[in-house]
Amino acid sequence: MMITIPQLLSAAEVRHFRDRLAQAEWTDGRATAGHLASQVKNNLQLPEDSPASRELGDLVLQALGRHPLFLSGALPLKVLPPRFNRYEGGGTYGPHVDAAVFSVPGTPHRVRSDLSATLFLSEPDEYEGGELTVSDTYGEHSVKLPAGDMVLYPGSSLHHVTPVTRGARLASFFWVQSLVRDDAQRALMLELDGAIQQLAVDAPGHPSLGRLTGVYHNLLRQWSET
């Protein structure tokens, strides 16, 4: 299941991110890739321990915590500190599947990559190419969103970024360990939550609201891993 999160960042926040990233020193993105991934990865990345990366990563985490669609769609248990990349001059990332588990730098903690996330920081008309293309059982899906919007997709998906032939594509990317590991179960939880929210608007006080909310929490109780 792919979920588009609109306006995770406001226009003012995007401008702040762009200003900070314009002053940042970028390094070869292959330095953080595994042996196989490094053979298909050609981009720039902000060092994870740089002041800009830590500051902007914290702002992304704050934005995630206040966005209801992210909370209901991801059911997050852990979020890996966000990272930042830049594609330009033909930069690309060939077909790959993300690592199953990531270590949190400077800690003994690990995050299972149930969900992968890309937060776009460049407007679509600022660059050519750069589509995030995700393959699943229904085919390939290309994503190129406005700055400030984010897409979530299963970490198990085969995906790639097409070559950027004009301009520069800036983005933040990270991984989420969900309370509910299974993608199909998370999709059901999101659908049920959306139905409950709509019923609360259309028929406030309806007796079914309490029953459906109980079903939601009992399913979460049954499926969640903590």
d(CA 44, CA 85): 6
Burial degree of 179 (CB within 10 A; 0-12, 13-18, 19+): middle
35 is in an annotated binding site: no
CA distance linking residue 226 with residue 218, whole number of Å? 15
Of 177, 176, 174, residue with least CA distance to 32: 174
Burial of 31 (0-12, 13-18, 19+ CB in 10 A): exposed
Q: Which stretch of DSSP H or E encloses residue 83?
A: strand 83-88
- Among residues 102, 104, 123, 121, the alpha carbon closest in space to that of 113 is found at 102
Residue from 57, 59, 183, 208 nearest 115 by CA = 183
- Judge whether 91 and 42 are in contact, CB under 8 Å: yes
217 labelled ligand-binding: no
Q: Binding site residues for 2-oxoglutarate, as ranges?
A: 169
Q: Binding site residues, as ranges?
A: 96, 98, 159, 169
Q: Binding site residues for Fe cation, as ranges?
A: 96, 98, 159
